[in-house]
């Protein structure tokens, strides 16, 4: 079963990479850009009986290693 994990910086945590990339786009004349934040996207392939089970296990993976709760949020999507 395929699972997608999105790890993003929490609101309020300064995203310096995102800021640098945003400034670069601004200098390329993309003046409409209001905000840009950089995160991490991971594709996982897991053995699980049901999508619910897969989601629960991948959530455990996020808690133990894939995200740092001090600065990051995460979101798990399992393909049905």
Partner 1 sequence: MKFAIIVFPGSNCDHDCYHVVKHVMGQEAEYVWHKDCSLEGFDCVILPGGFSYGDYLRTGSIARFSPIMAEVGRFAAAGGLVLGICNGFQILCEAGLLPGVLMRNRALKFICKNVDVRVESSQSAFTSAYKDNEVLSIPVAHADGNYFASPETIKELEDNGCVLFRYSTAKGDLSPEANPNGSLGNIAGITNATGNVLGLMPHPERASELALGNTDGKGMFESIITSFA
The binding site for partner 1 (CB under 8 A) comprises: 13-14, 16-17, 20, 65-66, 68, 70-71
Nearer to partner 1, 53 or 72 (CB): 72
Q: Which residue's entry shows tokens 């996020």?
A: 62
Asked if 76 and 8 touch (Cβ cutoff 8 Å), the reply is no
Closer Cβ to partner 1, 19 or 55, answer by number: 19
CB 39 within 8 A of CB 6: yes
Nearer to partner 1, 2 or 40 (CB): 40
Rounded to a whole number of angstroms, the minimum distance from the CB of residue 69 to partner 1 is: 10
């Amino acid at each position: 079963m395929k699972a997608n994990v999105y790890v993003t910086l929490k609101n309020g945590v300064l995203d310096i990479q995102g800021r640098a990339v945003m400034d670069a786009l601004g200098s390329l004349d993309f003046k409409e850009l209001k905000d840009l934040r950089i995160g991490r996207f991971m594709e996982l392939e897991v053995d699980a009986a049901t999508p619910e089970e897969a989601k629960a296990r991948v959530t455990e993976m996020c808690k133990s290693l894939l995200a740092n709760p001090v600065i990051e949020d995460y979101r798990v999507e399992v393909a049905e």
